[in-house]
Amino acid sequence: MRFKKNQTFIMKRIIFLFALSLATVAMNAQTVEELKAEQAEKKAALSKLQGEVDALQGQIDAFPGWKLGSFGTVGASLSGFDRWYSNAAPSSSAGNIGISVNGFANLDREKFFWKNSGNINLSWVKLDDKNNPLDSPDFNESADVFSLSSLYGRKLNDKWAISGLGEYRTTLINNFNNPGYLDLGTGATWTPLQNLVVVIHPLNYNFIFSKAGSAYQSSLGAKIMADYTRSIGKVNFKTNLSAFQSYKGSNLSNWTWVNSFGYTLWKGIGLGFEFGLRNNKQETLNNALISNSLATFGNINNKLQSYWLFGLNFNL
């Protein structure tokens, strides 16, 4: 009899614990659902506040006056191998370091505007084969881009202005101002959107500075430049196309297109990507003459030039 009572007591305990477990699970499930619902409400409120912040920033950007800003990307990779025989150079060290910076300073008044921008992209690369005594252990430049532009315009209306543009492009690390490009011209500027500027200058002279004996020639032509720069929340974006069409022919024409992206993750630091494309037949010919003195515009292969950089992004 006593055994049966103990058995009954144990069964009641088991049933009680089981019921208690079910209740705990139900309460936890209810708590999780409540937390999820509260989280959804907070996210909705945050999204609404972010929209209001973006709208206020748009109103701030619309006010006339100086607007200053900059963002850039830093990328680096280093590696080392010692008797790693699957490599072509089993004992070697390699590295790649790059930096790009984009900045602008714009003034917008009722009757005129003055827009200034600059871009720098520098990178160095190293491949040191420890088994080759003739191999250089130093970093060598692989990308070298520097450009400045200044655009002044007298407004005819909200979309059009009579304008003058000065743009300078060269390299910084080696061969500074050899070549150096200086465009000076006048014409019209179209601003269909707040962050978009399109320059159309049918009267432009492309000055090219270089050492004697090079293939470069200055000429008169037309200048077209389009620039779109914008920040949306954590995203920074800039695209710039600069093209010169020489009236002497396509051999003296050139264009450069640079695109920069940045995404901020924490306190102005994030991920960035930049790539650039260029077509310049004079640069191709001048490079070909280094190894082939008989090179001409007619027998060179004018391939598209390009560069890219990916790494940490900073926003000021």
Side chain identity, residue 270? G
Q: What average pLDDT does the chain have?
A: 83
Cα–Cα distance, 181 to 219 (Å, whole number):
11
Q: 162: Cβ–Cβ under 8 A, 6 or more apart, which residues?
A: 153, 154, 156, 186, 187, 188, 189
Least Cα distance to 139 among 183, 177, 95 occurs for: 95
Cα–Cα distance, 254 to 245 (Å, whole number):
7
pLDDT above 90: percentage of residues in the chain: 33
What pLDDT, on the 0 to 100 scale, is given for residue 112? 93
Q: 291: Cβ–Cβ under 8 A, 6 or more apart, which residues?
A: none
Specify whether 52 is located in the same domain as 172.
no
Cα–Cα distance, 30 to 310 (Å, whole number):
46
Specify whether 79 is located in the same domain as 172.
yes
Specify whether 301 is located in the same domain as 172.
yes
Q: Give the distance from CA 56 to its chain's centroid.
A: 25
Q: Which range scores top for mean pLDDT: 80-84, 113-117, 170-174?
A: 113-117
Q: Average pLDDT, stretch 132-155? A: 85
Q: How many domains does the chain have?
A: 2
- Identify the domain boundary among 22, 44, 63: 63
What pLDDT, on the 0 to 100 scale, is given for residue 155? 95
* In contact, 165 and 225? CB cutoff 8 Å: yes
Tokens describing residue 128: 């040191």
Least Cα distance to 31 among 19, 23, 20, 41 occurs for: 23
Specify whether 155 is located in the same domain as 233.
yes
What pLDDT, on the 0 to 100 scale, is given for residue 70? 80
Side chain identity, residue 170? T
Q: Average pLDDT, stretch 248-271? A: 88
Specify whether 177 is located in the same domain as 239.
yes
Per-residue pLDDT at 12 exceeds 70: no
- Identify the domain boundary among 63, 95, 116: 63
Cα–Cα distance, 120 to 101 (Å, whole number):
5
Per-residue pLDDT at 85 exceeds 70: no
Q: Average pLDDT, stretch 195-201? A: 94
Per-residue pLDDT at 3 exceeds 50: no
Specify whether 52 is located in the same domain as 74.
no
Least Cα distance to 242 among 193, 189, 278 occurs for: 278
* DSSP secondary structure letter of residue 133: T
Q: What is the pLDDT of residues 37-78, one digit of tens each?
A: 777 877 777 777 777 777 776 666 666 678 888 877 787 777
Specify whether 59 is located in the same domain as 70.
no
CA dist list (Å): 65 to 126, 258, 300: 45, 27, 49
Pairing state between β 65-81 and 305-315:
antiparallel
Q: Average pLDDT, stretch 24-44? A: 69
Q: Which range scores top for mean pLDDT: 34-43, 45-54, 230-239, 241-250?
A: 241-250
Q: CATH number of the domain that 285 lies in? A: 2.40.230
Specify whether 17 is located in the same domain as 145.
no
Per-residue pLDDT at 162 exceeds 60: yes
Cα–Cα distance, 93 to 128 (Å, whole number):
5
Q: Where are the beta strands (DSSP E) in 109-249?
A: 112-129, 140-155, 160-170, 180-193, 196-209, 219-232, 235-246
- pTM, 2 dp: 0.71
Specify whether 157 is located in the same domain as 277.
yes
Q: Average pLDDT, stretch 303-308? A: 88
Name the residue with higher pLDDT: 116 or 145.
Answer: 116
Specify whether 52 is located in the same domain as 87.
no
Domain ranges, residue 12: 1-63
* In contact, 172 and 122? CB cutoff 8 Å: yes
Q: Per the omega criterion (within 30 degrees of 0), is the bond before 179 cis?
A: yes
* DSSP secondary structure letter of residue 159: S
Q: What is the pLDDT of residues 87-128, one digit of tens each?
A: 667 677 778 888 888 888 999 998 999 999 998 988 888 877
Specify whether 168 is located in the same domain as 20.
no
Q: Give the chain's radius of gyration (CA, Å).
A: 31
What pLDDT, on the 0 to 100 scale, is given for residue 87? 62
Q: 258: Cβ–Cβ under 8 A, 6 or more apart, which residues?
A: 119, 121, 145, 238, 239, 240, 274, 275, 276, 277
- Identify the domain boundary among 48, 63, 78: 63
| Burial of residue 244, with CB atoms counted within 10 A of its CB: 0-12 exposed, 13-18 middle, 19 or more buried | buried
Length of the chain: 316
Specify whether 197 is located in the same domain as 148.
yes
